Amino acid sequence: DQQVKQNSPSLSVQEGRISILNCDYTNSMFDYFLWYKKYPAEGPTFLISISSIKDKNEDGRFTVFLNKSAKHLSLHIVPSQPGDSAVYFCAASARGAAGNKLTFGGGTRVLVKP
Amino acid sequence: DGGITQSPKYLFRKEGQNVTLSCEQNLNHDAMYWYRQDPGQGLRLIYYSQIVNDFQKGDIAEGYSVSREKKESFPLTVTSAQKNPTAFYLCASKLSGRQPILFGQGTRLTVV
């Protein structure tokens, strides 16, 4: 039972344009959400997070939007750069979950074309 | 430099052999985690530890064992009971509370 889903396995975008990555979740207890970026054969790096008390969080070129009623979050990257080509994972945790452990989606591979 | 060190980066083992993956962190983080990534899939939690001398099973703990004798170290042993051990293994850690977990560079284990 996948509690966090990234339904688009891949995304291709032109350099300078916006990349929009989507993530859906089913567990209504999730209240903290994160996005990670991963290059091949490397560990994921943390990008941005959002708490359920907010609906938007921004950090430079990265903005995360949270729609609690739809159980949906998205990551916007503007403008997209070739170095953004990577796999992006969304993750979620529930308050009180043992170890504050994260549940990850399956990832979306982004290719930014020069 | 503070960080999470996993070694080795690549590891080959024969089927039926146990193998131990190393993970060390100098961030003074309380919690440590082991995740597994398979091709085209997300990260799945194997084990985690919130304090020294205590650890809990994650979603796919069968065939694995861990120890947490020191705050900075959380080694993972892949035993011969693990049916599909070939994967990319990621160690992570974080401070207590709602903080993002930080990952090491990973160990690619191939069992032949």
Show pLDDT as tens, one digit a residue, over chain B (112 residues). 679 999 999 999 999 899 999 999 999 999 999 999 998 788 999 999 999 999 999 999 999 999 999 999 999 999 988 889 999 999 999 987 788 999 999 999 999 8
Query: Which residues pair with residue A12 across a beta bridge?
Result: A111
The answer to whether the Cβ–Cβ distance between B100 and A89 falls below 8 Å is: no
Q: Return the residue of A nearest to B42 by Cα.
A: A106
The answer to whether the Cβ–Cβ distance between B41 and A101 falls below 8 Å is: no
Answer whether the bond into residue A44 is a cis peptide, omega within 30°: no
Distance from CA of B64 to the nearest CA of A (A): 18
DSSP secondary structure letters along B21-46: EEEEE-S--SEEEEEEE-TT--EEEE
Q: What is the pLDDT of residue A77?
A: 98
Q: For residue range A48-98, what is the model confidence (pLDDT) as tens digits? A: 999 999 999 999 999 999 999 999 999 999 999 999 999 999 999 998 777
Structure-token match 């703990």, residue found:
B61
Q: Return the residue of A nearest to B34 by Cα.
A: A101
CA distance B68 to B73: 6
User: Contact at 8 Å (CB) between B19 and B11?
Assistant: yes
Task: Select from A23, A35, A46 the residue whose CB has the most chain B CBs within 10 Å, as the one to mutate to test that interface.
Answer: A46
Q: What is the pLDDT of residue A82?
A: 96
Q: What is the pLDDT of residue B1?
A: 64
